[in-house]
């Protein structure tokens, strides 16, 4: 799961990557592979209706393994009680952002926000980026998309939502009215990109400069010949800064596309990422750079595979009751049985850790006062308690038996496993060496194309990750008889290291 210790209202102040990759693809393995490939150059993952209808809770939990914030773009739009119940149903998925349609009205948005909890941003969809003036008029709306978006933004703010979804054409005006709002901008394309079914589009850089908190892009990355190069190039257009502190724009064409030849790619890369030092010798991060030298920053990835020796999963119990005390009491009794079963199965106490404890009200139908015809707040008809522990299973050949034991003991929530290595340093070092070698090889390629030489490495930074081989198992079941042990295959763990290296090039 992503780090939820950072409060969502701090996102605008943090130096985070605002780019969220839209993964509306029918195959889960394809979505996982794509997200993992570009994970070093995106700030989160957007999962929409196509993904959620195809893969449900299981698919969302799979994507959580990447450790990135999840944006559930479900665009909920129904009566207030139904939307509130839907928000409660997805609460267990711990989304960072969820969308509702602002046109659903103030009562619906208020209930959605109340049911979501404080760790989830709820944003209202204003006017879809595929809609223009011609589409609004048949709906009986005389306002322009711009004016309609501003009206719905005002309603969303009055309803207590965290922000809205709008096109880059409106975000600047809305941001000026809603200073602390959280603004999600989809429909982004690079200047020479294919617009597809989008009509009101801007570039990522334009949206960011206008006040966008989150930039959503899908097809420009997912349908590129080289998605990693595409994500890297898009990221550079809005956040790349030189070592001297000057922000520069990068080429809009995606590296690896059919329109770009290798020699042109090398020259464009140098033009976009290289910083010439033409004055006197200067210090950059305490390092002297000779006059006439050029800085080139590259990112490369290395990989290393091993058999895992550790399985991490979560198990727990969800219970309901008419009162909070009743729900918690039933949960405590059931959870104690689950923990005793884990210890009896040979799991050490140090490998069992409480990871999630929740108590939430369950709402009934919203009532309408007959005398005033005003809607009343939905009544609380009960409470739902859930308690989960994170477990480290070190005997992988016994994993299936442990799961069966938990189900028999009363566990009705099991998420996992995530296969890992207990001591990954050796495999990570192998991936690091490969990443640095690739970066140096690319630097030599670019330098040769520009008739320069690689003088030295100025700086190196890295980010590392690991990913299990097989899909994560996800189960929600009541106690049941199991004839055979649950089959689980550990596969291999792939360790990845991504390094960003700055080279000094000289004539």
What positions carry a catalytic annotation? 75
- Distance, in Å, from the CA atom of 428 to the CA atom of 290, rounded to the nearest integer, reads 34
Closest C-alpha among 396, 402, 330 to residue 359 = 330
Q: In whole angstroms, how far apart are CA 446 and each of 270, 273, 290, 454?
A: 7, 11, 19, 9
- Distance, in Å, from the CA atom of 440 to the CA atom of 392, rounded to the nearest integer, reads 39
335 secondary structure, DSSP code: H
Closest C-alpha among 257, 253, 127 to residue 199 = 127
Q: What per-residue string of b and e applies to 404-422 under the rule 16 or more CB within 10 Å gives b? A: bbbbebbbbbbbbbbbbbe
The phi, psi pair for 229, rounded to 5°, reads -65, -35
Sign of CA dihedral 385, 390, 396, 402: negative
Helix orientation angle between 106-116 and 80-90, rounded to the nearest 10 degrees: 20
Closest C-alpha among 463, 486, 335 to residue 401 = 486
With contact defined as beta carbons under 8 Å apart, do 436 and 501 qualify? yes
3-state helix, strand, coil in the chain (%, to 5): 35, 30, 35
Closest C-alpha among 61, 78, 75 to residue 2 = 61
- Distance, in Å, from the CA atom of 52 to the CA atom of 74, rounded to the nearest integer, reads 8
Structure tokens at 194: 């294919």
Q: Beta-strand (E) ranges in 277-412?
A: 282-284, 287-289, 294-306, 310-321, 352-363, 380-393
**Overall size of the chain counted in residues:** 507
Cis upstream peptide for 400 (omega within 30°): no
């Amino acid at each position: 799961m992503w780090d939820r210790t950072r409060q969502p209202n701090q996102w605008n102040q943090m130096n985070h990557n605002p780019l969220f990759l839209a993964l509306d693809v029918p195959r889960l393995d394809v979505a996982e592979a794509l997200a993992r490939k570009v994970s070093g150059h995106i700030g989160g993952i957007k999962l929409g209706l196509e993904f959620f209808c195809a893969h449900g809770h299981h698919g969302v939990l799979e994507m959580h393994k990447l450790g990135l914030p999840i944006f559930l773009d479900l665009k909920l739009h129904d009566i207030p009680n139904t939307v509130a119940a839907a928000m409660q149903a997805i609460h267990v998925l711990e989304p960072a952002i969820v969308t509702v349609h602002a046109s659903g009205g103030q009562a619906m948005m208020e209930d959605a926000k109340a049911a979501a909890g404080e760790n989830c941003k709820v944003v209202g969809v204003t006017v879809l980026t595929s809609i223009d003036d011609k589409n609004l008029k048949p709906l009986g709306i005389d306002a322009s998309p711009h004016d309609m978006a501003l009206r719905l933004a005002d309603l969303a703010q009055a309803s207590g939502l965290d922000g809205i979804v709008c096109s880059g054409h409106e975000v600047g005006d809305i941001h000026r009215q809603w200073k602390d709002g959280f603004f999600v901008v989809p429909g982004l394309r690079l200047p020479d990109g294919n617009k597809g079914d989008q009509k009101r589009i801007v570039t990522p850089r334009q949206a960011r400069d206008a006040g966008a908190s989150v930039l959503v892009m899908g097809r420009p990355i997912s349908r590129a010949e080289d998605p990693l190069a595409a994500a890297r190039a898009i990221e550079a257009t809005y956040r790349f800064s030189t070592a001297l502190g000057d922000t520069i724009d990068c080429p809009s064409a995606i590296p690896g596309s059919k329109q770009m030849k290798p020699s042109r790619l090398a020259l464009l890369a140098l033009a976009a990422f290289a910083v010439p030092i033409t004055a006197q010798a200067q210090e950059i991060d305490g390092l002297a750079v000779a006059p006439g030298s050029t800085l080139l920053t590259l990112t490369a990835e290395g990989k290393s595979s091993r058999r895992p020796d550790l399985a991490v999963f979560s198990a727990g119990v969800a219970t309901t009751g008419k009162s909070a005390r009743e729900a918690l009491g039933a949960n405590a009794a059931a959870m104690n049985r689950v923990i005793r079963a884990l210890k009896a199965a040979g799991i050490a106490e140090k490998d069992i850790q409480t990871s999630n404890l929740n108590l939430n009200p369950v709402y009934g139908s919203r009532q309408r006062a007959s005398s005033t015809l005003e809607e009343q707040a939905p009544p609380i008809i009960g409470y739902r308690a859930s308690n989960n522990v994170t477990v480290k299973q070190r005997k992988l050949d016994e994993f299936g038996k442990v799961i069966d034991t938990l189900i028999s003991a009363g566990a009705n929530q099991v998420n996992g496993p995530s296969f890992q290595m207990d001591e990954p340093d050796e495999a990570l070092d192998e991936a690091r060496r490969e990443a640095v070698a690739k970066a140096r090889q690319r630097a030599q390629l670019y330098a040769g194309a520009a008739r320069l030489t690689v003088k030295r490495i100025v700086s190196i930074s890295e980010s590392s990750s690991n990913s299990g081989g097989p899909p994560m198992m996800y189960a929600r079941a009541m106690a049941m008889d199991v004839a055979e042990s649950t089959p689980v295959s550990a596969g291999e763990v792939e360790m990845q290291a991504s390094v960003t290296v700055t080279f000094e090039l000289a004539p």
